[in-house]
Amino acid sequence: MSQPDLLAIRNLSVSFPADRGRTTVVQNLSLTVSPGETVALVGESGSGKSVTSLAVTRLLDYGPGRIDAGEIRYRDRDGTVRDLVRENAESMRRLRGPEIAMIFQQPMSSLNPVMRIGEQIAEAIVQHREIGWSEAEAEALQLLERVRIPDARRQLKRYPFEISGGMRQRVMIAIALASRPRLLIADEPTTALDVTVQAQVLRLLRELRNDLGTGLLFITHDMGVVAELADRVVVMRGGERVEEGSVTQIFGAPVHAYTKSLLAAVPVLGSLAETPLPAPFAIPPEKAVPQDTVAAGAPILQVRDLVTRFDVRNAFGMLNARVHAVEQVNLDIQPGETLALVGESGCGKSTLGRSIVRLETPRSGQIVFDGKDVLGADAEANPELRRGIQYVFQDPYSALDPRLTVGFSIAEPIRTHALRQGAAVTDRVAELLELVGLPTHFAARYPHELSGGQCQRVGIARALASEPRLIIADEAVAALDVSIRAQVVNLLMALQRRLGLSCLFISHDMAVVERVSHRVAVMYLGQIVEIGPRQAVLTSPQHAYTRRLLAAVPIPDPARRRRELAIDDSEVPSPLRAPDDNPTVAPLVEVGPGHYVARHPVGGSY
C-alpha cells in the first residue's frame, strides 16, 4: 500500500448500537487528502459523512460509535506514518490540535458559554506548547485579527453569547488554527449561517488554506459550497462512497446515478433568468416546463402598513427596547401567484408571515384577505376567517403533535370547520393524503414513523384540509435534504397548478426562490427594501442589500467559481431600537414595471 502524503482512509467501517445488534453507518470508505488540498465529502443526512470526521479525530470514542474495520493512515509533522485507528487515547489527544483540528456545524453551541473567548483560544495554545498564559493570550489576539474579528482586543474578554453566530464561527476557526494544524476538518461549518456570513467564512477558509498549506476535509450537503471550494469530491450515500473525482469531473460528467440525481435536484441560481415564470425541477415525472397560474382580478391578500414590534422588558416590567420586526410593510398577492419573501435571519420575514395568520399581534396596519379585514375585532371570534390562509412550518416534525396519528392531525381542520361529517371525514383524509403523494394507510401512523419529507407532505395535506386560498410556506423546504426538497417544491407547484392556490413563500434560499416564485420581496431590518417581478429583481437588483445577498449565493458550478467575492466583513445591524426611536420608512420608488425599491436609508448601512 502506498504511504499517504497526509491522510489516507482505507476501508473504514463504523457502527453504532441499535435496537438489536449494531447498525453500520460508514462502510468500506476510502479517501485521501494531500497537503494544501481541499476534499469535499458530500452527502445527504444519514450518509455517514460527519461520523467519518469523528472517526478520523477519534472523538468517536466519546460516544457510542465504534470503528469496526479499516485504517486511517496519517503522516505527522515528523514524517512518521501512523494508523489513527490503533493509536492510544493519549497520543490521539496530542495529535488533536497541533496536527488535526476541527470546526463544527453549530457555532451557537460549540463554544463554552461560561468561558471568555480569549481563554478558549489560549487554552488550545497552552496545552500543546511550552508557553505561558499571557503569551498565549497575545497569540489569541493575533488569531482573532487573523480571522478578521473587528475590535479583537475587546472581543477577547467577551463571552460567546455576546457575539453573533458568524463571529462565533470565526472564533471556532481561530481555535482550530491555534496550534497550527496540518489537517483541518470542517463539518458543515457554514450550514447554520446566513448566506452573506457563509460567503465571508468560506472566503476566510480559502485564504487560510492557501496561506498555510493545510489540507482541508470539508464536509457538506451543499453542492454550491462544494463548487466554490473543493479540489476533489467524494460523494457518500448510506455510509458508502458512491463516486469520487475532481470537482470539474463530478459536476461536469457525473458517472453514478445517485450523483446525477443529486445534481439534478440542486437549484442553480440564474437557470431561469430567461423566463419570467416559475418552473418545477426536472425530476421525473415532472418536466421543467414554466407554468403560468396567476389569475387576473382583485388581489387575494392585501397587506397595508403592517407593523409588528416586540417589547423587551426588564425584570421590573419596564420597557427597555423594542424589536422592530415588521415596519410598515405593504404587499399584494394575486390569486394563483407565488410571492417569495427573502432575507436573512432576523429580518422579520417569518414575523410578517406569522402576523398575517395572527400568530403574532400586529401593532398597526391592515390585512385584507378576500375582501375582508382579518385584523378587526370580530375576526378573532370567527374561525372561518382563519380557514382561507394556511401555514406550513419549517420543521416538519415539530409541527405535528407527536401523540396523535397523521390521520387525526389532517382531520382536525376538517372537524374544526365542520367541512365534512361522519365517515366523509375519513374519505377526505384519504383524498388529501393521495393529493400530496402519500399512501392512504399513512393515516394510522405517528409522525415519528415518517421521514422528514413525508412529514412535510402531511403538513401540507393538513394545510389543504381547510380548503384554503393562500398558503404561507415558512422555510417549508429548508430542513429537507436536496432531493427531498426538490420533490416537495414540485409538489407545491403542482398543487398551485391544480388548485389555483396563492402562496407566500418565505425563504432564505435564493435558488429555490427563483424556481417557485412569480414575484420577490426582499426584507431587511423589518422593511421591504425591494419588491418586483422575480426576473427583474434577480437579474437586475436595484437595492444594495439585494445585490449583496445575491452576490453571496454560492453557485453549484465550478466553472463559475468567483475569484474574489464582493462581500465585506460587515454584519447586519440589530433590529433592536430604543423605545421611541422609530425607523424612517419612506414609500418605495418604482424603477420598472411593478418593480419598487427603497431609496431611503435603512439601518444606517444602505
Partner 1 sequence: MLFFLRRLVGAIPVLFAVSIFVFGFVRVLPGDPARLVAGADATEQEVASARQSLGLDRPIWEQYVRYVGASLKGDLGVSSRTREPVIDVIAARFWPTLWLTLAAMGWATLAGTFIGVWAGTKRGRWQDQVAMLVAIGGLSFPGFWLGFLLINLFSVHLGWLPTGGFDSWLSLLMPSFTLGVGVAAVLARFSRSAFVDVAGEDFVRTARSKGLRERRVIWRHGVRNALIPVVTLTGLEFGTLLGGAIVVETVFAWPGLGRLLVDSIAFRDYPVIQAEILLLSAEFLLINLVIDMLYGVLNPEIRLRS
Partner 2 sequence: MTAPTIRSPAGEFWRRLRRRHTALAAGVVVLLIVLIAIFAPLLAPYDPAAADYDAVLQGPSLAHLAGTDSYGRDILSRIIWGGRISLTVGLVSAFAGGLVGTALGLISGWAGGWVDTALMRLCDVLFAFPGILLAIAVVALLGPGVANVVWAVAVFSVPVFARLVRGTTMALKEAQYVQAGRTIGVPGSKLMLYHILPGALPVVIVYMSLRIGSAILVGAALSFIGLGAQPPSPEWGAMLADGRAYLGVADHLTLFPGLAIFIVVLSFNVLGDGLRDALSQRLH
Q: Which residues are at the interface with partner 1 (CB under 8 A)?
A: 57, 59, 62, 93-98, 101-102, 104, 106, 109-115, 123-124, 127-128, 159, 161-162, 172, 175-176, 178-179, 314-316
Closest approach, Cβ 325 to partner 2, in A, equals 16
Here's the x/- map for partner 2, 63-102, by CB under 8 A: it reads as ----------------------------------------
Residue with Cβ nearer partner 2 (133 or 397): 397
DSSP run (H or E) holding 16: strand 7-17
Q: Is beta strand 81-83 parallel, antiparallel or unpaired with respect to 66-75?
A: antiparallel
Instruction: Please work out the total of residues on this chain that contact partner 2, with binding judged by CB under 8 A.
Output: 33
Options 129, 387, 428, 547; binder of partner 2; rule CB under 8 A: 387
Exposure class string for 289-309: b at 16+ Cβ within 10 A, else e = eeeebbeeeebbbbbeebbbb
Site for partner 2 in 398-417 (CB under 8 A): 398-404, 409, 412-413, 416-417
Residue with Cβ nearer partner 2 (334 or 466): 466
488 binds partner 2 per the rule CB under 8 A: no
Amino acid letter for position 227: A
Residue with Cβ nearer partner 2 (354 or 577): 354
Site for partner 2 in 206-265 (CB under 8 A): 238
Q: DSSP characters for 148-193?
A: T-TTHHHHTTS-GGGS-HHHHHHHHHHHHHTT--SEEEEESTTTTS
Measured from the Cβ of residue 454, the count of other Cβ atoms closer than 10 Å reads 20
Residue with Cβ nearer partner 1 (59 or 551): 59
**Rounded (5°) CA angle 506-299-392:** 30
Contact of residue 287 among partner 2, partner 1, none (CB under 5-8 Å per partner type): none
Residue with Cβ nearer partner 2 (359 or 566): 359
The long-range contacts involving 95-99, CB below 8 angstroms and separated by at least 24 positions, are: 96/57, 96/58, 96/59, 97/124, 97/127, 97/128, 97/178, 97/179, 97/181, 98/128, 98/179, 98/180, 98/181, 99/74, 99/181, 99/182, 99/183
Q: DSSP characters for 546-585?
A: HHHHHHHSPPS-GGG--SS----S--PPPSEE-TT-PPP-
Contact of residue 467 among partner 2, partner 1, none (CB under 5-8 Å per partner type): none
Q: Enter the C-alpha cell of residue 435.
A: 393529493
Site for partner 2 in 319-358 (CB under 8 A): 357
Closest approach, Cβ 174 to partner 1, in A, equals 11
Contact of residue 110 among partner 2, partner 1, none (CB under 5-8 Å per partner type): partner 1
Closest approach, Cβ 392 to partner 2, in A, equals 9
448 binds partner 2 per the rule CB under 8 A: yes
Pair 226, 233: CB distance under 8 Å: yes
Contact of residue 106 among partner 1, partner 2, none (CB under 5-8 Å per partner type): partner 1
Nearest to 551 by CA among 227, 228, 222, 196: 196
Residue with Cβ nearer partner 1 (217 or 486): 217
CA distance 353 to 364: 15
311 binds partner 2 per the rule CB under 8 A: no
Going from the C-alpha of 213 to that of each of 177, 439, 564, the distances in angstroms are 12, 53, 19
CA distance 110 to 187: 12
Going from the C-alpha of 486 to that of each of 282, 288, 339, 459, the distances in angstroms are 9, 12, 18, 16
Residue with Cβ nearer partner 1 (94 or 372): 94
Contact of residue 292 among partner 2, partner 1, none (CB under 5-8 Å per partner type): none
Contact of residue 339 among partner 1, partner 2, none (CB under 5-8 Å per partner type): none
In the complex, the residues that contact partner 2 under the rule CB under 8 A are: 238, 357, 359, 383-387, 389-391, 393, 395, 398-404, 409, 412-413, 416-417, 444-446, 448-449, 459, 462, 466
